[in-house]
Amino acid sequence: MESIRLELTIEELAKIKIALIERISRTGNEIETYEKFYRKHSEDKKTLGRILNMLKTQKTEDEAVIKKLDEAILNVK
């Protein structure tokens, strides 16, 4: 994988972090909705399970990006 170097201000990093936090919140709400639906509708658990796994993966990846952003913000000189 090729790496690139970006120069962002603390304000830009903060905006990215806020957007990710908002997306994590929406993803969390979607996960709750799908989990409730999953329990009630046993006929399509395979598809619902895939959707849940995808959403949980997205949330985990977003949380990892936020952690990296926090590190970047702390390391700004």
pLDDT in tens, 2-59: 887 778 888 888 899 999 999 999 999 999 998 888 777 767 778 888 889 999 999 9
Cα 4 to chain centroid distance, Å, stands at: 22
Asked whether residue 2 is domain-assigned, the answer is: no
Asked whether residue 53 is domain-assigned, the answer is: yes
Tell me the whole-structure pTM to 2 decimals. Answer: 0.74
Asked whether residue 26 is domain-assigned, the answer is: yes
Tell me the CA distances in angstroms from 37 to 12, 56, 59, one per residue in order: 38, 16, 19
At 53 the pLDDT is 94
At 54 the pLDDT is 95
CB burial of 26-37 (b: ≥16 within 10 Å; e: otherwise) equals ebeeebeebeee
Q: Which residue has the higher pLDDT, 52 or 76?
A: 52
The residues, ordered by sequence, that sit 6+ positions from 73 with a Cβ below 8 Å of its Cβ are 10, 13, 14, 17
- Domain count for the chain: 1
Please name the residue that has the structure tokens 């913000």.
73
At 23 the pLDDT is 95
At 61 the pLDDT is 96
Asked whether residue 5 is domain-assigned, the answer is: no
Asked whether residue 4 is domain-assigned, the answer is: no
| CB-based contact 48:56 (threshold 8 Å) | no
Range of the domain at 33: 11-74
pLDDT at 77 over 80: no
